[in-house]
Structure 1
Amino acid sequence: MAASRIELMQQMPIFGAIAAESVEFLLTAARVIEMPCGDYFFREGEPGHGMFVLEAGSVTVSKSWQSHELLIRRLVQGDCFGEMALLDLFPRSASVRADADCVAIELTSANLYRLFERDVEQFALIQMNIAREMSRRLRITDDLLFRARMGEVPQAHERLAR
């Protein structure tokens, strides 16, 4: 297993404080996905089966609104997306498109379940880290919603070409 891949994962908030052996164990069963520029990892509304760790390239996260694709955020190497699929059974809440040729590591619920069977403490730490990351993002969203309700004009949303 490439040490650089393990190091990349350990630098992410979701895998912070996770032992290298546990990260390596997760990676042995994980698929590596190559996504050409312009293709979608997934689209809003599709079933979610796992999360992705962006090893190379960049992606755009977007949501549909009134027949337009609106930018939510851009992600680069070392970022992750799709982690909500590991905690809930709802469809994807956004679309993720490759802005450049990408390489990503896909981690599924089955990968995490294997870790649960092997080391419940490391599994629990990853689950708590995912919850913390989702909570951080929710706080940002709550703040944006509050400001909008108080009359602060948000930045114009960038429309993405289809």
Structure 2
Amino acid sequence: MKPELQERIQLLRSVSFFAALPEKELSEIAVWSSRNSYKKGEIIVRAGAPGKGLYLLIAGRADVSVKAGGEEKNVGVLHPGELFGEMSLIEERPRSSNVIAAEATDCLYLDARIFLEKMALHPEVMIDLLKTICRRLRQTVEELRGF
């Protein structure tokens, strides 16, 4: 197995819900993934763009923002080990927010078709992903209460 593929498998396994997947499934996801680097200020995900995959932030930091009242509002910060882009993937709708590299950032991009195929075989992993989405939604609601 190529070192690059082994690295991707290790990165995926570092995310709690991917850790539950058998090695074969992880390998298949890793084969269809790609590692991408972004410079500070570079847009990783643009609001309104089609969601054809999800991302695992593996190095650096990224800001999440939405346009509200004609201005861009920062609604969160992503750190290594966090996934993003999953809402568009599940809803099959355009991206809901911008994700911009706050510093030099590396991400692993996971193809939607392969990801969803594997999740269908392992519903327990999809449940963990839904828990992650619910946690983020709860955090957003709590932050909005503070405004």
**TM-score, length-scaled by structure 2:** 0.82
Percent of residue pairs bearing the same amino acid type: 25
How many residue pairs get matched?
A: 144
The 3-state SS of whatever aligns with 1:87 is: helix
Residue of structure 2 equivalent to 1:76: 79
- Give the alignment's Cα RMSD to 1 decimal: 2.2
Larger-gyration structure (1/2)? 1
| 1:113 positional shift | 4.6
Corresponding residue number in structure 2 for 1:105: 108
Question: Aligned partners of 1:141 and 1:71: how far apart in 2?
Answer: 11
Offset, 1:15:
1.7
Q: Which residue of 1 aligns with 2:89?
A: 86
Deviation at 1:66, TM superposition (A): 2.0
Give me the whole-angstrom Cα distance separating, in 2, the residues matched to 1:22 and 1:34. 25
* 2:51 aligned residue: 48
* Superposition pairs of residues 118-157 of structure 1, within 5 angstroms: 120-122=120-122, 124-145=123-144, 148=145, 154=146
What is the rounded CA distance, in whole Å, between the counterparts of 2:116 and 2:95 in structure 1? 21
Q: Corresponding residue for 1:151?
A: none
Cα deviations by residue, 1:141-160 (Å, 9 ceiling, x for unpaired): 34445xx3xxxxx26xxxxx
Q: TM-score, normalised by structure 1?
A: 0.76
**Contact kept? 2:54, 2:111, Cα under 8 Å:** yes
Provide the rounded CA distance (Å) in 1 between the counterparts of 2:10 and 2:16: 12
- 1:114 CA displacement: 4.9
